[in-house]
Amino acid sequence: MHSDQPIARVVTVPADPDGGSADGRAGARTTGTSRPAPNAGGVDASTTTARGIGGRFARGQWLITALFVIVVIIAAAQFTSPSAVGLRLAGLRWDWMLVALLAQFVCIALFGGLYRHAFRSVGMPAGARRMVSVLLASIFVKTVVPLGGASSMAVFVDDADSRGQSGARAAAGTIAVTAIDLTVALPVIVFGGVVLALRGQLAPYLVVGAAMYIGVVAVLIAGLALAGRHPAAVARALRPARSVVNAIGRVFRRPEIVSLAWVQRQASQFAAAAAAIPHHWHEVALAAGFSLAQRLVNGIGLWALFLALGRPADPTVVLAGLGASIVFFVVAIVPDGIGAVEGAMALTFVGLGVDATTAVMVTLAYRLLNVWLPVILGFFAARRLRLFSGQTPAPASA
């Protein structure tokens, strides 16, 4: 499983002591505990949002599933044959498949710990169980509303806002998570590159992809550092992002959820959150520990897939393939890196001596567990959380 501006609902603007809101309009902050008012047709907002999520999921699922099926067909036609696949499936070790499946659930739990401590590093308390639910919902939304990290971030911000917490701090927290997670993965990527180089299999596209990946990490870290020192720069960055965020809201029947006055307020809060990170290095270290543990368990799950097919793989081969998947999951422009990740992983395995049939089957099985399992779980999490409905679900314990 792989991890990745800020938004908030205008109806949740904090009230000033004199009765006016911070942007000059009368209003009070909703706690999210009351049920949204029904619309003209007698249907409450949460039901409308649930229907919007379901409709968007149906359309997004069809398109992304079709893309994934095309990738499977092309990979199978290029690298293997139906008879070879059939023989491997006939001898499949289901005990090792269960290990791979369990590894993915462990990865999800570890990601919850990563988010919990990264959010605490920006001064925002968060429970691990709650973080897992919101994380899964964000994965689902990012898949069906492929606007990069913005759609995923919107889920965390909306959840924070519905619980009376700072949406800007949640946004800073999601960026901190991505920066920590991608930084921790760098040794895996470098190690994989060294292995490929020593065997004369380091292709130019892998070098370019790794360079782009390092650029993404540098931008994230520099962005957090800049935000902590120059709040005005955050405000300038948020203004053009406003239209993108409102586009996400329209998907859930919440147009214009970000006001211009909100941008100024949240820029100040975001800067404060970013500035808090250097003072919470123990939380950053704990987040990095959870990220490292997640990468190791992910590698064990990938290794188990080789064993399930009766083709034990050298750990260096497993790590090289894992590194390729991390790079192209991040830098590919298609949702969840579909096509790019499968191609990079399979070619990496083949280049390191794995037979083509095993390389394709392991890659596709890994992607089914790593991408589609969290998306399916995220669909149910998103419905439970009632995203962008203004309603708070039953609290989960930390």
The total domain count for the chain is 1
Domain limits for position 166: 48-385
Number of H helices, E strands in the chain: 14, 0
What is the DSSP secondary structure assignment for residue 337, as one 8-state letter?
G
For residue 7, being part of any structural domain is answered with no
CA dist list (Å): 358 to 65, 160, 186, 256: 22, 44, 26, 50
| 325 found inside a domain | yes
Q: Are 345 and 192 in contact (CB under 8 A)?
A: no
**Per-residue model confidence (pLDDT) at position 84:** 59
Asked whether 329 and 371 are in contact (CB, 8 A), the reply is no
Please check whether residue 302 lies inside any domain of the structure.
yes
- Alpha carbons within 13 A on the beta-carbon side of 10: 16
Rounded Cα gap, residues 301 and 305, in angstroms: 7
| pLDDT < 50: residue spans in the chain | 4-54, 56-58, 60-61, 392-398
Structure tokens at 11: 């109806």
Comparing CA positions, the residue from 137, 144, 180 lying closest to residue 380 is 137
Token output for 53: 């999520």
Q: Is residue 274 part of a domain?
A: yes
- What is the per-residue pLDDT across 80-138, written as a single tens digit (0 to 9) for each? 556 656 666 667 789 999 999 999 999 999 999 999 999 998 888 877 788 898 899 88
24 occurs within a structural domain: no
In a domain, 115, yes or no: yes
Cβ pair 111, 132 in contact under 8 A = yes
**Apex 98 CA angle, 95 and 102, nearest 5:** 145
> Per residue in 92-103, pLDDT tens?
789 999 999 999
pLDDT at 362: 93
Looking at the domain assignment, is residue 125 inside a domain?
yes
Q: Give the model's pLDDT for residue 162.
A: 80
pLDDT in the model for residue 394:
45
> Which among 57, 6, 63, 12 is positioned nearest to 36, based on CA atoms?
12
Q: Is residue 306 part of a domain?
A: yes
Query: In the prediction, which pLDDT does 265 show?
Result: 72
What's residue 39's pLDDT?
43
pLDDT, tens digit (0-9, with 9 covering 90-100), for 181-210:
999 999 999 999 999 999 998 999 999 999
Q: How far apart are CA 185 and CA 342, in angstroms?
A: 19
